[in-house]
Amino acid sequence: MEPQPTWQDLGGGSYVMRSGAARALVNIGLVVGSERALVVDTGCGPRHATEILAAVRAVTGLPLVVANTHAHWDHFFGNAVFRNDGAADFWAHAAARRDMAGTGESQREAVSGVEPEMAAAERPGTELVFPTHLVQQDPVKLDLGGVAVSLFSLGPAHTDGDLLVGAPGVLFAGDVLEEGAEPQFEEADRSGWIRVLRTLAGMGRQYPVMVPGHGRVVTAEFAARMADRMENSG
């Protein structure tokens, strides 16, 4: 039996949890204020998202806001579970919302080995729920109650619609940061990605803790090294 995932306390009301199994292992973020809490990414389907939601509810009973870092299945296919729990505000980059709507159904096949019901759209909780609150060029500030969160983009990188979530001292970077695996370039803008990583490398004072979409928590120095590797391998 696999151990139950646990939260790593990052300070300032922020937490991260490595959740899922095998190829669906993803970092889930949680930022807790006094009035509401923000969940960063929702996993790959109803089974996964139900586990994530239970872990969230073990920490807080506050109303939830969801931010999807980009339009890949392992980061937004669990949205329906959170909507059914009462989450009303789902945020993403405008380009990610467009890609979710355009490719979401075709991405179902990718989860057949881990979430067969999601792949077949066979039961409640398998519907695709798309964000309706969109970030475009300007950052969006969210007040969770004593904890301010910034939703912003630095430009195309891993995808055209990468959303970064900045909390006090912590940056949830989604797959813009790839720890423990090589960067995936299927939809990527290599030169843009390198520029974004260079920018992140200079943000270490504001965000001494950076959370990749997968893998271990890192620092700004990791972003600099990743940019170097991408330049040298290009």
Q: How far apart are CA 33 and CA 46, in angstroms?
A: 26
- Whole-prediction pTM value? 0.95
CB neighbour class for 42 (10 Å; exposed up to 12, middle 13-18, buried from 19) = buried
Give me the phi and psi of 64, to 5 degrees please.
-110, 145
CA-based end-to-end distance of the chain: 41
Fold exhibited by the domain 8-233: Metallo-beta-lactamase; Chain A (3.60.15)
Q: Closest by alpha carbon to 131, among 162, 97, 87?
A: 97
The model's pLDDT over 5-38, given as tens digits with 9 standing for 90+, comes to 799 999 999 999 998 766 678 999 999 999 999 9
Give the pLDDT confidence score for residue 58 in this predicted structure: 97
Strand pairing report for 64-67 and 37-40: parallel
Q: With a cut of 50, which residues of the chain have pLDDT below it?
A: 1-3
DSSP state of 187: T
Whether the Cβ atoms of residue 64 and residue 56 lie closer than 8 Å to each other = yes
Integer angstrom CA distances of residue 179 from 26, 117, 118, 212, 213: 11, 29, 27, 6, 8
Domain ranges of the chain: 8-233
